[in-house]
Chains A and B, each alone.
Chain A
Amino acid sequence: MENLLKLYTTKHLLFALLIVAALVFPLVASTYTLRIITMCCIWSMLAIALNLIVGYTGQGNLGLGAFFGMGAYTTGLLMVKLGLNFWLALIIALALTVILAVLIGLPTLRTKGAYFAIATLCFNIIFTTVVIQWDALTKGQTGLMNIPNVPAIPLPFGGQIDFHESLAANYYLVLIFLILTIVVIYRIVNSLTGKSFLAVRQDEDLAEAIGINTFRAKLLSFTVSAFIAGLAGGLYAVYLGFIAPAITSYGITFTAILYVVVGGAATVAGPIVGSFLLTVIGEQLTAFGTLHLIIYGVLVVLSIIYLPMGLVGAYQMFWPQIWQKMKRGKVHAA
Chain B
Amino acid sequence: MSMLLQTTINGIVIGSAFSLVALGLTMIWGIMHISNFAHGSFYMIGGYVIWTIITLLGVDFWLAILITAVVMAIFGAIVERLTFRPAEGPFSTPLSSLIVSIGLIMIFNNSVLAIWGARPETLGAINIQEFHFLNVTVTLQRVLIVVAAVILIALLQFFLKRTTLGMSIEATAQNAESARLMGINTSRVGSIVFAMGVSLAAIAAGLMAPLTNINIGMGDHMTTYGFVIIILGGMGSIPGAIIGGFILGLISSLSATYLTANYYEVIVFGVLILILAIKPTGLFGAK
* Residues on the A chain within 8 Å of B105, using CB: 297
* Residues on the B chain within 8 Å of A217, using CB: none
Q: Within the assembled complex, what's the spacing in Å between the Cα atoms of A250 and B106?
A: 15
User: Quick check: B114 and A294 within 8 Å, CB to CB?
Assistant: yes
The answer to whether B91 has its CB under 8 Å from any CB of chain A is yes
Q: Within the assembled complex, what's the spacing in Å between the Cα atoms of A206 and B113?
A: 49
User: Quick check: B104 and A301 within 8 Å, CB to CB?
Assistant: yes
User: Quick check: A107 and B269 within 8 Å, CB to CB?
Assistant: no
Among A110, A119, A262, A294, which residue has its beta carbon within 8 angstroms of that of B106? A294
The answer to whether A186 has its CB under 8 Å from any CB of chain B is no
Q: Within the assembled complex, what's the spacing in Å between the Cα atoms of A305 and B282?
A: 32
User: Quick check: A112 and B114 within 8 Å, CB to CB?
Assistant: no
B93-129 CB mask vs A (1 if < 8 Å, else 0) is 1111011101111110111011000000000000000
Closest to B235 in A: A114
Q: Within the assembled complex, what's the spacing in Å between the Cα atoms of A308 and B114?
A: 30
Q: Within the assembled complex, what's the spacing in Å between the Cα atoms of A125 and B258?
A: 21
User: Quick check: A119 and B273 within 8 Å, CB to CB?
Assistant: yes
B236 to chain A, nearest CB (A): 10
User: Quick check: B272 and A60 within 8 Å, CB to CB?
Assistant: no
B240 to chain A, nearest CB (A): 13
> Which B residues from 261 to 287 make CB contacts under 8 A with A?
262-263, 265-266, 269-270, 272-274, 276-277, 280-282, 285
The answer to whether B189 has its CB under 8 Å from any CB of chain A is no
On whether A115 and B106 interact (CB within 8 A), knowing A265-B93, A308-B91, the answer reads no
User: Quick check: B265 and A300 within 8 Å, CB to CB?
Assistant: no
The answer to whether A82 has its CB under 8 Å from any CB of chain B is no
Q: Within the assembled complex, what's the spacing in Å between the Cα atoms of A117 and B228?
A: 11
User: Quick check: B262 and A133 within 8 Å, CB to CB?
Assistant: yes
Closest to A132 in B: B262
* Residue from B227, B269, B272 whose CB has the most chain A CB atoms within 10 Å: B269
A124-141 CB mask vs B (1 if < 8 Å, else 0) is 011001100100000000
The answer to whether B157 has its CB under 8 Å from any CB of chain A is no
The answer to whether B185 has its CB under 8 Å from any CB of chain A is no
The answer to whether B231 has its CB under 8 Å from any CB of chain A is yes
User: Quick check: B87 and A129 within 8 Å, CB to CB?
Assistant: no
User: Quick check: B35 and A115 within 8 Å, CB to CB?
Assistant: no
> Which A residues from 101 to 131 make CB contacts under 8 A with B?
107-108, 110-115, 117-119, 121-123, 125-126, 129-130
Q: Within the assembled complex, what's the spacing in Å between the Cα atoms of A129 and B256?
A: 14
User: Quick check: A265 and B95 within 8 Å, CB to CB?
Assistant: yes
* Residues on the A chain within 8 Å of B277, using CB: 107-108, 110
User: Quick check: A305 and B110 within 8 Å, CB to CB?
Assistant: no
* Residues on the A chain within 8 Å of B103, using CB: 297-301, 304
The answer to whether B2 has its CB under 8 Å from any CB of chain A is no
Give the total of A residues in contact with B, Cβ under 8 Å: 42
User: Quick check: A125 and B95 within 8 Å, CB to CB?
Assistant: no
Q: Within the assembled complex, what's the spacing in Å between the Cα atoms of A54 and B95?
A: 9
User: Quick check: B35 and A308 within 8 Å, CB to CB?
Assistant: no
The answer to whether B58 has its CB under 8 Å from any CB of chain A is no
User: Quick check: A129 and B100 within 8 Å, CB to CB?
Assistant: no
User: Quick check: B276 and A291 within 8 Å, CB to CB?
Assistant: no
Among B91, B93, B270, B280, which residue has its beta carbon within 8 angstroms of that of A126? B270
* Residue from B92, B104, B113, B272 whose CB has the most chain A CB atoms within 10 Å: B272
The answer to whether A309 has its CB under 8 Å from any CB of chain B is yes
> Which B residues from 60 to 114 make CB contacts under 8 A with A?
83, 86-87, 89, 91-96, 98-100, 102-107, 109-111, 113-114
User: Quick check: B273 and A115 within 8 Å, CB to CB?
Assistant: no
Among B92, B227, B280, B281, which residue has its beta carbon within 8 angstroms of that of A121? B227
User: Quick check: B110 and A115 within 8 Å, CB to CB?
Assistant: no
On whether A115 and B102 interact (CB within 8 A), knowing A122-B269, A291-B114, the answer reads no
The answer to whether B55 has its CB under 8 Å from any CB of chain A is no
User: Quick check: B87 and A115 within 8 Å, CB to CB?
Assistant: no
On whether A296 and B265 interact (CB within 8 A), knowing A115-B231, A308-B91, the answer reads no
The answer to whether B224 has its CB under 8 Å from any CB of chain A is yes
User: Quick check: B110 and A126 within 8 Å, CB to CB?
Assistant: no
The answer to whether A290 has its CB under 8 Å from any CB of chain B is yes
Q: Within the assembled complex, what's the spacing in Å between the Cα atoms of A291 and B111?
A: 8
Q: Within the assembled complex, what's the spacing in Å between the Cα atoms of A157 and B265?
A: 56
User: Quick check: B235 and A305 within 8 Å, CB to CB?
Assistant: no
Q: Within the assembled complex, what's the spacing in Å between the Cα atoms of A300 and B273?
A: 31
> What would 8 A/B residue contacts be, using CB atoms closer than 8 Å?
A54-B95, A107-B274, A115-B235, A118-B272, A126-B266, A126-B269, A126-B270, A293-B110
B interface residues, Cβ below 8 angstroms from A: 29, 35, 37, 83, 86-87, 89, 91-96, 98-100, 102-107, 109-111, 113-114, 224, 227-228, 231, 235, 262-263, 265-266, 269-270, 272-274, 276-277, 280-282, 285
A interface residues, Cβ below 8 angstroms from B: 54, 60, 107-108, 110-115, 117-119, 121-123, 125-126, 129-130, 133, 254, 257-258, 261-262, 265, 290-291, 293-294, 296-301, 304-305, 308-309, 313
- Sort A-B residue pairs by CB-CB distance and give the 4 closest, nearest first: A297-B106, A107-B277, A300-B103, A297-B107
